[in-house]
Amino acid sequence: MPASASAATTAGNAVRWPRLDSIAYGGDYTPEQWPEEIWAEDVRLMREAGVNLVTVGVFSWALLEPSEGTFDFGWLDRVIGLLHDGGIQVDLATPTAAPPAWFLRAYPQARPVTAEGHVLGGASRQSYCPSSPAYARASARIAEQLATRYGQHPALTLWHVHNEYGCHVPACYCDQSARAFRDWLRERYGSLGDLNAAWGTAFWGQRYGTWDEIDVPRRAPTTVNPALRLDFMRFSSDAFLDCFTRERDILHRLSSGIPVTTNFMASSCKNIDYWRWAREVDVVSNDHYLVAEQAANHIDLAMAADLTRSLAAGAPWLLMEHSTGAVNWQRRNIAKRPGEMRRNSLAHLARGADGILFYQWRASRSGAEKFHSAMLPHGGTASRIWREVVQLGRDLSALGELRASWVAAGAALVWDWESYWAVELEGHPAEFSYKERISAFYRQLWRGGVTCDFVHPEGDLSGYRVVLVPSLYLTTPRAAANLGEYVASGGTLVVSYFSGIVDASDTVHPGSYPGPLGSLLGVTVEEFLPLRAGEQVRLRSAGVVGPGLADASADASADASADNWADAWAEMVHLAGAETILSYADGPAAGAPAVTRHSFGSGQAWYISTRLAEDLLGRVLSAACADAGLAVRADGGVEVVLRRGDDHTFITVINHQDRTAELPVTGVDLLTGTRYGTRLEVPAGEVRVLRQDSGS
């Protein structure tokens, strides 16, 4: 398995995969919502569908502990027994994402508080402060009870702590959180002098004379100190992590040998630093839901899968939740079309998942998610969704050979949650969307058929031909040195605008922009020149690279339909060793370099100082890939992903087009047994998974 750049690798974390002899298949099972006579039918239908793993007990705290210190496990005993007798293994959850009504009544100070000072109520989920001592005691107690009772049960194959940490309540602003925040700051800075220096408290006279003067960033008359806010985001992520590790340690102690996970929301949760969290789980698992109205949302799915695999350091990971059809919480909950659920599932599998689970097994009849799709819909087994669920079970059974193989990636995208937090704070030259830049770059790689990993800016980059940095506003000296060493050793780097600007305390680096990245990129930036809404600038090619970029625009009078334009942002760039690839033909930076390339050591460092039109960004990235000898293919409607094993290579081909696709791919299709000797035909909307001998 290739080395990964994720923090999980540097921590030496070993994956402890659940005891399963096939690809995991199943979903979130809530028998407590149904009469007991239905449970046996559930198990029978699970077997019919090929289900081998279900998650149980996620939101059952009020049933397991109906009053404080009083426990009722009889119903759960019977459920787990039925599943075990049916040959279905259990991912047992600690139910701590939904404290019972008795807890909130007995400990009102444990309720979460917003930045505006509003105390949030119950009758929902995530109704707790992560720094509450009462919540810590109660969550540890229920985890210990479950581990003591079921820790060695033969059906138990995985522990599932909590559910979607940080969902709905990204941070708590109560007095308990303020005290915990001050303790966290003492640990981080050691002295008030160092804290005042890091936070720049000389600005607006914010200097602190005692620790007790420091508060959480509650709603204030105007902008709250951005360094304080950034540290509070770090603290809040760590506060939730403390909740997880507290329960995890109990489970490890009382249920030796059973791996522990919690479900991430890797690409959709801004407020949790999953690089730090990935070091603490035994198995990385993720929840992913399509944005139903988004065009080409299968690309967002691929990005989420690649990010999750990267958090797992290239090891197998578990898709803990996705949907068979529509969800119930988006603006328009569009149903998945026939075959879409299969394509979604097999795309996750292609990108490294060794388990495909859904929310949920049986569609609920009441509650907030009664219109959320399920493996067994309200319409039962006469439905299209049920037929597709059964077929998917057969498909996954046929694809068992893919287990423990790894995904081959030649490129990497830098992703850093701390920079994500910092760049979206107030007070910048323009508003920035971190995800927008990441997604724009990822789309071009996907459409060019380039599989990529995600990496931390201080992680190992040595295995990649190309590393892309769509946004790295917060750049530490260690990250800058790491990127420089990568390029000097022969790598190709592409950095986008407003990167290299501040350090870990949101303090502007001394000297010219882009700070510690300037010598690597061979440029200085004199001034940021944001553009008005709707304003575009035209770009002119310097003609120093291949025809793909030379054709971008020959002169300033070219029509905008030629995609030779950019918008949103421009910079006054000066060359300091780099060469111009594209220059500004008009606008506030007319005549200045817009895209540059710099030879640095044995490698190349590209800089993009503006938001390029999508087609032009694709051509620039293709030129950078050509620098690195990385092939880019033209057909962006067909997804091709390789997983490699010791003896075989597995090629998944997913046709997202409305017409048949032909590719020069050979091998045996594991789904049909068909052997393709010259060319592969994939009908519209279909999937093929081919096995090749490693030497072929």
Contact 269, 321 (CB under 8 A): no
Q: How far is Cα 164 from Cα 181, in angstroms, rounded to an integer?
A: 22
| 315 and 354 inside one domain | yes
At 12 the pLDDT is 40
| 454 and 524 inside one domain | yes
Within-domain flag for 633: no
**Pairing assessment for the beta strands 260-261 and 263-264 based on DSSP bridges:** unpaired
Within-domain flag for 3: no
| 479 and 541 inside one domain | yes
| 329 and 477 inside one domain | no
Within-domain flag for 355: yes
Within-domain flag for 227: no
Q: Domain holding 94: CATH number?
A: 3.20.20.80
Last residue of a domain, one of 360, 387, 404: 404
pLDDT in tens, 331-351: 999 999 999 999 999 999 999
Within-domain flag for 642: yes
For residue 11, pLDDT beyond 80:
no
| Single pTM value for the model | 0.96
| 95 and 36 inside one domain | yes
Q: Is 314 left (phi over 0), alpha (psi -120 to 50) or beta?
A: left
Within-domain flag for 458: yes
Span 239-249, mean pLDDT?
Answer: 98
Span 298-308, mean pLDDT?
Answer: 98
At 631 the pLDDT is 87
For residue 676, pLDDT beyond 80:
yes
Q: How far is Cα 620 from Cα 202, in angstroms, rounded to an integer?
A: 43
Residues counted in the chain: 696
- Which residues are known catalytic residues? 164, 321
Last residue of a domain, one of 385, 404, 423: 404
543 pLDDT tier (thresholds 50, 70, 90): confident
| 244 and 362 inside one domain | yes
Write 101-104 long-range contacts (CB < 8 A, 24+).
101/62, 102/62, 102/66, 102/67, 102/68, 103/68, 103/134, 103/135, 103/138
What's the 3-state SS for 50-72? CCCEEEECCCCHHHHCCECCECC
| 379 and 470 inside one domain | no
At 6 the pLDDT is 36
Q: Which of 61, 393, 113 is nearest to 236 (CA)?
A: 113
Residue 308 tokens, joined: 């999750």
| 396 and 531 inside one domain | no
| 485 and 341 inside one domain | no
For residue 465, pLDDT beyond 50:
yes
Q: For the chain, what percent of residues have pLDDT higher than 70?
A: 94
636 pLDDT tier (thresholds 50, 70, 90): confident
At 633 the pLDDT is 81
**Angle between helix 226-254 and helix 133-150 axes, rounded to 10 deg:** 30
Within-domain flag for 2: no
Q: For the chain, what percent of residues have pLDDT higher than 90?
A: 92
- Name the residue type at position 447: R
Residue 207's Cβ-side half-sphere holds a number of Cα atoms within 13 Å equal to 6
| 429 and 358 inside one domain | no
| 540 and 430 inside one domain | yes
At 191 the pLDDT is 98
| 385 and 299 inside one domain | yes
Query: Which residue range is the domain that position 656 belongs to?
Result: 638-693
Total of domains in the chain: 3
For residue 695, pLDDT beyond 60:
no
- Of the two residues 13 and 216, the one the predictor is more confident about is 216
Q: What strands, in cross-sheet order, belong to the sheet with 260-261?
A: 260-261, 156-161, 89-94, 53-56, 24-29, 353-358, 317-321, 285-287, 263-264
Q: How far is Cα 289 from Cα 326, in angstroms, rounded to an integer?
A: 9
Last residue of a domain, one of 607, 627, 647: 627
Helix, strand, coil % in the chain, rounded to nearest 5: 35, 20, 45
Within-domain flag for 203: no
Q: Domain holding 683: CATH number?
A: 2.60.40.1180
363-396 residues labelled b (16+ CB within 10 A) or e (exposed): bbeeeebeebbbbbbeeeeebebbebbbebbebb
